[in-house]
Amino acid sequence: MSDTDILFQPFELGPLQLANRLVMAPMTRNKSPGNIPGEDVVDYYRRRAAGGVGLIITEGTCINHIAASGYPDVPYFHGGERLEAWQKVADAVHAEGGKIAPQLWHCGGMRRAGTPPEGDVNGYTPSGMNVPGKINRHVMTQRDIDDVVAAFGQGAADAKALGFDAVEIHGAHGYLVDQFFWEGTNQRDDDYGGSLERRNRFALEVIAAVRAAVGPTFPVILRWSQWKQQDYGARLVTSPGELERFLLPLSAAGVDIFHCSTRRFWEPEFEGSDLNLAGWTRKITGKPAITVGSVGLSADFIPAPGETAFRAAEPASLDELVRRMEADEFDLVAVGRALIANPAWVRLVKEQRLADIRAYDSGMLEALV
């Protein structure tokens, strides 16, 4: 393995000061009965902070909207008891010297009517579609859009008030913000649909509301992706020029850090360049970028044929990651499954205790460890 010292350089952006460049990626765990993070959730995040993670981005936390949730037992980020529980998580992470950001989430059309606790409420989408061409969800009105935008802003304000260090907007993977980005699920004929710029409008309003809620210096992260869980081959943009049209308005609206979700971080994004998606994003915006995608593992997360859980994987070399970091391709590195398998993965890498790094197995999702 290459010398990994570059991964352990400090990072600073305004008030956000990180001990290293390693980030815990947001991963849904479905372990919050009543949508309230319990003591096991507190300890789960505490262990990763104690293990050396510079910044923890929490699992998706649902904003205060009737249709925000799409899965059972996911945590919410509104309501007195739920926010008190998140306060305990933040305090535990800080006690271990870590930093933490909640990921604010609206599932959009990924919600199916009947999902508890909201019951028969249908998924909310730009055009009634969870997948292109199939209308089986609620089409959002202007009032709906305004309500969701306000809910994102309130979630950000609560995050700052609770002492979190940053906030992330979930704009990836085929959830609501991404459903507005994606032409396949956004067939609106008003100001929120049509061209790439118009499909950005909903996200721009969300970002503006978040920025207004937290002030000019509180770090705002946007997670986005080309791929969707509805279509792993989907692409929002197909050239650097289109990417520039997509990113620059988001950057100007108030995004401080772009979290660029890919399945395999080592893959170039466009022909003719070795840069991955985070590399192109950093080059175009001049803003810090987080790369992610099977870091430290031998296989991406896409389930094997006939399976539904994230794919098992063995520990893998960090040589390519280090090479790209040394080339200033991106600023931060998000780690997912390797941190599920190894709460102290960051410390193990720093100490070169490679033999102690465990493989990831999908059974590890069954409990918070």
pLDDT, tens only, 213-227: 999 999 999 999 999
Note the pLDDT tens digit of each residue in 233-260. Answer: 999 999 999 999 999 999 999 999 999 9
* CA-to-CA separations, 341 to 147, 242, 312, in angstroms, rounded: 38, 38, 10
Instruction: Give the per-residue pLDDT at 295.
Output: 96
Alpha carbon distance 173, 166 (integer Å)? 21
- Asked if residue 155 has pLDDT above 60, the reply is yes
Question: pLDDT exceeding 70 applies to what percent of the chain?
Answer: 96
Mean pLDDT, the chain, whole residue set: 96
Note the pLDDT tens digit of each residue in 290-317. Answer: 999 999 998 766 665 554 456 788 999 9
26 near 103, Cβ under 8 Å? yes
Write out the residue range of the structural domain in which residue 143 sits: 5-366
| The token pair that represents 223 in the structure block | 């997670």
Note the pLDDT tens digit of each residue in 86-105. Answer: 999 999 999 999 999 999 99
- Helix (H, G, I), strand (E, B), or coil: what is residue 279? helix
CB atoms within 10 A of CB 99: 23
Alpha carbon distance 179, 158 (integer Å)? 25
- Asked if residue 174 has pLDDT above 90, the reply is yes
Relative to beta strand 257-261, strand 11-13 is unpaired
Q: Could you identify the residue written with the tokens 């070399």? A: 317
Alpha carbon distance 44, 190 (integer Å)? 44
Instruction: Give the per-residue pLDDT at 305.
Output: 53
Instruction: Give the per-residue pLDDT at 335.
Output: 98
| CA-based R_g, the chain, Å | 19
* CA-to-CA separations, 12 to 31, 219, 241, 301, in angstroms, rounded: 32, 11, 29, 30
Q: Could you identify the residue written with the tokens 């396949």? A: 184
Relative to beta strand 55-62, strand 99-105 is parallel
Residue type at position 236: L
Reported as a pLDDT band with limits 50, 70 and 90, residue 58 is: very high
Catalytic residue among 44, 45, 124, 175: 175
Instruction: Give the per-residue pLDDT at 298.
Output: 83
Instruction: Give the per-residue pLDDT at 307.
Output: 47
- In sequence order, the 6+-apart residues with CB closer than 8 A to the CB of 325 are 6, 7, 21, 333
Alpha carbon distance 101, 285 (integer Å)? 22
Q: Work out the average pLDDT over 160-183.
A: 98
Count of the separate structural domains present in the chain? 1
Tell me if residue 175 is catalytic. yes
- Asked if residue 76 has pLDDT above 80, the reply is yes
Note the pLDDT tens digit of each residue in 6-41. Answer: 999 999 999 999 999 999 999 999 999 999 999 999
Q: What is the CATH number of the domain that holds 262?
A: 3.20.20.70
- In sequence order, the 6+-apart residues with CB closer than 8 A to the CB of 254 are 207, 208, 210, 211, 220
Number of H helices, E strands in the chain: 11, 14
Reported as a pLDDT band with limits 50, 70 and 90, residue 116 is: very high
Of residues 37, 120, 44, 111, the one with CA closest to residue 74: 37
Half-sphere CA count of 346, side-chain side, radius 13 A: 27
Instruction: Give the per-residue pLDDT at 299.
Output: 74
Instruction: Give the per-residue pLDDT at 1.
Output: 45
